[in-house]
Amino acid sequence: MKTLIILLNLVFFFNAIDARKSEKWLKKHGESQPLTTIFDANERNLQKKLKKNKKIKKVKSSDKVQEYTTSKIGVKSWSLLNFNGVDDAYEALYGQHQTGSDSKWRSIVDDPLEGGDKVMMVEYGAGSYGSKSNGGQTFYAQPPIDWENAKKVKFCYEIMFEKDFDFKNAGKVPGLWGGPAENCKLPDTCWSARFMWRHDGAGEIYPTIDLNKQPEGFCANPKQCLNGSGDQGISVGRGSFTFATGSWLPICQVIRATTTKGEMKVYINGDANPVINWENLVYAQSGFTGIQFGTFFGGGSDDASPKQQHSYFKNFSLEILE
């Protein structure tokens, strides 16, 4: 009995010490409320924030895939190293709206060069061209970062075209975009910044922006800046880099999407210096909406893609710089 009484006294003693410590902490931080009241209030505020934010579609989790989240406010970065444990790349990339090319043209496969990890493969059927044909992929994606408040974003991924890939004349690969997902062509309603390949894999960036609103000298060099498709895009920096075949190419774009002092930079192979660098650009609207995952052969006839071919994607990342 004496032992029990001693133990109870010790418990009361240490509880009293903890209570005094809690009281001192509250006084130091200017709080007079009980801790339980503060925690309950924080929980209520958190629940309110979660209800206000749109829920993002859940994907299967793995050790290298982002976990499901209901909140993107304040999130500055996101990455997806590979597609391990994922059934569909569309879900892993937080796809929101498929606009062209059937899902059967994308799949998850072993890395054909390095093995081990899973990567995304896109098939271009023989004779395929454009965004709605027998090959390629076109969908919009919104990985969970704070798109609404972002002004400047860095978007990176690695791409590989299979060995002996025939680039023919031209084709597109993913980039950032801002504006509505439907009918994003005219530069007064939205903007996009996809990459393009040209003959023999010559690389460029192909922004949808109004040429007439850009700074003087923007297209002074016709070899580096061509407005070959009317109002639907501008070929910028053609040949500044090359899409190789049979090897992975890390590629990044940094876009500052504002109606004044906009930026557009392209980085290759992790180099610190951009191969394409434009400032003081004018975008149709400020801000971002997500990723425009578009990859397909360009052209208007079935000789655009001469044979069945494949490209591969991995190591996606997004970072809000401003």
Q: Which tops the pLDDT comparison, 131 or 208?
A: 208
SS3 78: strand
Q: What is the pTM for the complete model shown?
A: 0.76
Pick the CATH number of 59-320 from 2.60.120.200, 3.40.1280.10, 2.60.40.10, 2.30.36.70: 2.60.120.200
Is the pLDDT reported for residue 164 higher than 60?
yes
Measure the CA dihedral 92/94/98/99, to 10°.
-120
pLDDT in tens, 250-267: 999 999 999 889 999 999
Q: C-alpha distances in angstroms, 289 versus 142, 216, 239?
A: 7, 28, 28
Q: Mind listing the pLDDT tens digit for each residue in 79-131?
A: 999 999 999 999 999 998 787 667 889 999 999 998 889 999 999 999 887 77
Secondary structure of residue 154 in the 3-state scheme: strand
Identify the helix (H) or strand (E) that includes residue 49: helix 35-52
Strand partners, 112: none
For the beta carbon of residue 106, count every other beta carbon within 10 angstroms: 20
Nearest to 151 by CA among 278, 79, 258: 258
Cα separation values, 119 from 135, 251, 286, 293, Å: 18, 16, 33, 15
DSSP state of 141: E
> How many other C-beta atoms lie within 10 A of the C-beta of residue 322?
10
**pLDDT for the residue 26:** 40
235 contacts: CB under 8 Å, gap ≥ 6: 196, 204, 206, 225, 226, 227, 228
Residue 308 falls in which region: left (phi positive, over 0), alpha (psi -120 to 50) or beta: beta
Q: What is the pLDDT of residue 181?
A: 63
Q: What is the three-class DSSP state of 3?
A: helix
Query: So where are the chain's domains?
Result: 2-51, 59-320
